[in-house]
Structure 1
Amino acid sequence: MEDGKSHTRTHTSQDVGRDVETGKTPHRASASQSEYNIPDSYANVPELEEIAPIPSRDERQLRPTPSLEEDRALEHEYSGNEEARRRASRALGEQPETEKPKPGGVSRLATEIYTISYLILFALLGTLARLGLQALTFYAGAPISFSSVWPNFAGSLVLGFLAEDRMLFRFEWGTPTYELQLLRAKEHNRLDEEAGRSGSERTVVDLAAAKKAHMTTKKTIPLYIGLATGFCGSFTSFSSFIRDIFLALSNDMLVPDADGTSIPRNGGYSFMALLAVVITTISLSLSGFFVGAQLALALEPFTPSLPYAFTRRILDRVAVFLAWGAWIGAILLSILPPDRFSNQGAAETWRGRATFALVFAPLGCLGRFYASLYLNGYFPSFPLGTFAVNIFGTAVLGMAWDLAHASVGGVISCQVLQGIEDGFCGCLTTVSTWVAELSALRIRHAYRYGGISVLTALACMVAIMGGLRWSDGLSPLSCKH
């Protein structure tokens, strides 16, 4: 208005809390006015990136969102600027503003305790959900003859819902900021219509910036971190996906209740089976991610909002005791199961199926979380942390599979190995995060990242499982369930 060229009034940076120096909405608590003291490194966790499955809520527009590479570059620049400010403050003998405790806020230690507790709790729940869904969908005569596909689809769907949802954490830190921006936009439109304004004279409220600010704020909430990283990451399993590719390639993918034999087939059919597993899993997981985002929009009028006071003052504290208590309970059930001393001779199949998996599940989930913190920021176009845990978890699963099928040890050792496969490897590796990264990367980088991930993991599985399969053969499990 001062230069006489435009009469448009825009509500942007001040309303949504953008960092005017970097142009990015900060992740840390002090910058976004959150009560949790979130470390800067949490921004490297893939589920906490600015990944928007649906760029614009207006179906008539296709506004592009920043790619994952651009978002991480901005985050790296912001973190570098913050670290420089902290060093300068310490050199002057001052305490940096970002490290000063906030009145009534949550300390850095308490924030990390809440986050770790939620990760443990939802790792247990995600593992149970994966095992339960596999039991429901993997049966004789199933239309899809491998067990990993439906948990990968369902976990990706839940992550897509959480990424796009704006209702569960609507109150953010006690105030529905995004909803207020929507109401402000409607009010300005009404006033503009009453005043007869049109074109450049109309007041503009930057709803895209408001959406981004809301997404950034909710991703500093430990409960959201537990749901997205803990539950969805543990619900899906990249190592099981690669295992099914190898079993399709080696013609060892047997349906439940099979007699342990398979019909011989040539290499061409085995290659087609390999392609079927790859294409089915990736396409269903990607579609699940976008379907979940569309469901978040469709169900928005019916989605409840979590009360701020309940989440902050009650649920956080309860989650600490519930998570650690459930984990300790799983350990005790594995050591002293009620049917261990049964005289009926019944097989202890339930323990190998569930409790040992629950013992190892939190270790895998926490390993994936911290690997993302320290590794994902190195190469913006190639999420190194997710790649590392997926490859390492696949290798561990291959070794556990070999030991379990090598006729060594008894029932207990077989159950422990299955617990490592379902619990540790299942929670360490993830498909939901992987497909979210594929959807956010630039197309060329997405194909490169996805292709290298699958080929490297499959090469590890062929080297590990193939050595036993094509030399001594795979023996039946002593703890078959």
Structure 2
Amino acid sequence: MQPTRRERHETLDQHNNEAAHVELQPIAPKQPGANDALIPSDRINPRRSSLQRSREQHRRPSRPSRGYDIPESYRNLDEIAAKGPIQDREEQQPNTYENLEDARSRGREGTQEQAESESGDNGFSTDAQDPGREAQSMRVSRLATQIYTVSYLILFSFLGTLARLGLQWLTDYAGAPVFPSVWFNFGGSLVMGFLAEDRMLFRDEWGTPTYEHQIQKAKRDEESGGTSGSAEPAVDLAAAKKAHMATKKTIPLYIGLATGFCGSFTSFSSFMRDTFLAVSNDLVYGSSTTSPRNGGYSFMALLAVIIITVTASLAGLIVGAHIAIALEPVTPSLPYLVTRKVADRLAVVLAWGCWAGAIVLAAIPPADYWRGVAVFSLVFAPVGTLARFYVSLWLNGMRPAFPLGTFAVNMFGTAVLGMSWDLQRVPLGGVVGCQVLQGVEDGFCGCLTTVSTWVAELAGLRRRHAWIYGGASVVVGFAVMVAVMGGLRWSNGFAALKCVH
């Protein structure tokens, strides 16, 4: 009886987790148990030896492998824990959908297996099979890995914030059909879907120049139902894809793009702000104006904002994944040496240098509105991104069915945005104070809260848990906005801004 697709994946994940070497690992036998009868040993051993020969034959002799020492807590980032939105790319496999909860629990088991593998307890230690590997291995230290990761998060928080502000200004025009927050929430979710499904940008990080050739060979073998006629051993296609995904998610640059850029490009707090403004009849964009209406129409406006934002963001996630699949033949790969030796080090200089420059510019109160919004937003943006990153590391792993980290930062950021919105609209302070509060809204709150991670979690959770998590996020977020902004709106009302918005 052939092993199921899921059993093959679970077996491979014992050696190919986020902290594993970037080279393909042999498939280790399962521990004795009730399911041993389902996988005959005479079927597993030939595959294991085939994968081992393939790995030894195609290892790069001229360039030593160099992996990042990723902290184990990085598994709690749902941007890198969740599977790609499209799990059956060829639409030929049976439905073996894997949700976020299974992936997280299986990742914990893989951690224990990896520790045993590295200690040599199970007899499949890579270093034991290749005595020269330890001498050739050049692993980036944990401290350097964390510095690179934080630097990428800071750098991409700038880019995500500027992209969000720019798209917001571009889409707020006369006669605009939708409110501007739909655009950047859709765009950030689209980029997230692309990154989750892409297998080409970080192909060189795999560490073997023949990886793509092996994938193509395995595809030909799969389509023909036999061998391609080549004498070289084939790589298990599903195993190679799964291992490549695990390798990609251990790279600081990928974490910076998924957590830093996409999380800063989207904003859950802006989404909640628009839901409250729709209820209070204050949602004005483009050339639109408000007119008195009854509570029924306000309720319909509330539903419209929620439906449009959630469906557009989920659609963006799926569209991004489809784009990654469609562009796979022409998508370039980031050069290995450029990424490791140039980009990582350059990111450290640019990130901290740009942040220091933004702080210096903010110390000189800018007169122009656009400078005030951009500068103050950039000062607060890294704070929000790093806070979201570390809160997710701390809380997301506690309850896989309900990501507490993402929920906590979204609710807290929503409350802070509501408070800043109120302080801007009371007859106190001046222009600079108004600009600082706008920077808190667009920079800190915009980067602390995220829609891209939220919809990725919704797409990855079991259906029942996704409805509970998504519904709780929207209901609690809206309740927070009513509690914070409702008192001022329905008592004294919102005063005119002292800085143009």
CA contact (8 A) 1:182 1:207 kept: yes
TM-score normalised according to structure 2 size: 0.82
Shift in Å at residue 81 of structure 1?
6.1
* Residues 127/452 of structure 1: CA separation in 2 closer, same or farther (3 Å cut): same
Three-state SS of the structure 1 residue aligned to 2:87 is coil
Q: SS at the partner of 2:397?
A: coil
Q: Which residue of 2 aligns with 1:126?
A: 160
Select 1:168's aligned residue among 182, 187, 201: 201
Q: Give runs of aligned pairs for residues 270-349 of structure 1, distance below 5 A.
A: 270-336=298-364, 340=367, 348-349=368-369
1:221 has 2:245 as partner: no
- Residue 231 (structure 1) shift: 0.3
CA distance in 2, matches of 1:174, 1:77: 25
- Amino acid paired to 2:335: P
Q: 1:40 to 1:58 in 2, by over 3 A?
A: same
Using the alignment, how far apart are the partners of 1:86 and 1:60 within structure 2? 36
1:284-331, CA deviations, whole angstroms, 9 ceiling, x for partnerless residues? 000000000000011112211100011001111011101111111111
Alignment counterpart, residue 428 of structure 2, candidates 405, 408, 413: 408
The equivalences for 1:126-205 within 5 A come to 126-144=160-178, 146-176=179-209, 178-186=211-219, 188=221, 192=226
Taking a change above 3 Å as real, the CA distance of residues 129 and 466 of structure 1, as seen in their structure-2 partners, is: same
On the 8 A contact 2:268/2:446 being kept in 1, the answer is: yes
> How far did 1:273 drift?
0.3
Q: Would the alpha carbon gap of residues 22 and 51 (structure 1) be closer, same or farther in structure 2, given more than 3 Å must change?
A: closer
Question: Compared with structure 1, are the counterparts of its residues 56 and 34 closer, same or farther at alpha carbon in structure 2 (3 Å cutoff)?
Answer: farther
Distance in 1 between residues matched to 2:221 and 2:315, nearest whole Å: 37
Partner in structure 1 of residue 85 of structure 2: 53
Tell me, yes or no, if structure 1 residue 40 matches structure 2 residue 72.
yes
Write the distance in 2 (CA, Å) between the matches of 1:435 and 1:350. Answer: 31
Tell me which of 379, 383, 386 is aligned to 1:366. Answer: 386
Question: C-alpha separation between the residues in 2 aligned to 1:364 and 1:188?
Answer: 48
Which residue does 2:482 correspond to in 1? 462
- Aligned position for 2:19: 28
Post-superposition CA distance 1:39-87 (Å, at most 9, x none)? 1110110111141211112134453231111111112333466679999
Checking the alignment, whether the CA contact within 8 Å between 1:170 and 1:176 is kept in structure 2 is no
Match of 2:270 among 219, 240, 250: 240
2:96 pairs, out of 43, 57, 64, with 64
For 2:15 and 2:462, locate their aligned partners in 1 and report how far apart those are by CA, in whole Å: 19
Partner of 1:172, secondary structure, is helix
Provide the residue aligned with 1:429 in structure 2.
449
Instruction: Tell me the residue number matched to 2:146.
Output: 112
Unpaired segments ≥5 residues, structure 1: 90-99, 196-202, 341-347
Change (3 A) 1:31 1:136: closer
Instruction: Give the distance between the partners of 2:78 and 2:290, measured in 1 at CA.
Output: 40
8 A Cα contact 1:115 1:222, kept in partner: yes
Q: Corresponding residue for 2:460?
A: 440
Q: Deviations over 1:253-278 (max 9, x none)?
A: 122467xx731110000000000000
1:34, 1:220 within 8 Å by CA — same for their partners in 2? no
TM-superposed deviation, 1:140: 2.4
Quote the Cα distance in structure 1 between the aligned partners of 2:317 and 2:469.
18
Q: Which amino acid aligns with 1:108?
A: R
Q: 1:28 to 1:210 in 2, by over 3 A?
A: same
CA separation of 1:354 and 1:88: change in aligned 2, threshold 3 A:
same
Does the aligned pair in 1 maintain the 2:217–2:228 contact within 8 Å? no
Residue 198 (structure 1) aligns with: none
Taking a change above 3 Å as real, the CA distance of residues 256 and 478 of structure 1, as seen in their structure-2 partners, is farther
| Paired AA for residue 192 in structure 1 | G
Q: Which amino acid aligns with 1:156?
A: S
SS of aligned partner of 1:473: coil
Per the TM alignment, residue 206 of structure 1 is displaced from its structure 2 partner at its CA by 3.4
> Does the aligned pair in 2 maintain the 1:24–1:75 contact within 8 Å?
no
Could you tell me how far 1:205 is from its partner in structure 2? 5.2
CA distance in 2, matches of 1:389, 1:457: 11
The letter for the 2-side match of 1:313 is K
Distance 2:146 2:216 in 1: 35
Local SS of the residue matching 1:303: coil
Q: Secondary structure at the match of 1:171?
A: helix
Displacement after TM superposition at 1:171 (Å): 1.0
One-letter code aligned to 1:392? F
Decide whether the 8 Å contact of 1:24 with 1:74 is kept in 2. no
Q: Deviations over 1:327-382 (max 9, x none)?
A: 11111121125x54xxxxxxx21133211000000000011111111100011111
The answer on whether the counterparts of 2:15 and 2:117 sit within 8 Å (CA) in structure 1 is no
Q: Which residue does the alignment assign to 1:208?
A: 238
Q: Using a 3 Å threshold, how does the CA distance of structure 1 residues 409 and 116 change in structure 2: closer, same or farther?
A: same
Aligned identity (percent) is: 61
Residue 250 of structure 1 is matched in structure 2 by: 280
Distance 1:450 1:177 in 2: 42
Gaps of 5+ in 2: 24-64, 122-133
Judging changes above 3 Å, is the alpha-carbon distance between structure 1 residues 167 and 176 closer, same or farther for their aligned structure 2 residues? farther
1:323 corresponds to which letter in structure 2? A
d(CA) in 1 for partners of 2:369 and 2:228? 71
- What's the counterpart of residue 479 of structure 1? 499
Specify the alignment match of 1:199 in structure 2: none
TM-score normalised by length of structure 1: 0.85
For residue 415 of structure 2, what is the amino acid of its counterpart?
Answer: A
For residues 40 and 300 of structure 1, the distance between their equivalents in structure 2, rounded to whole angstroms, comes to 30
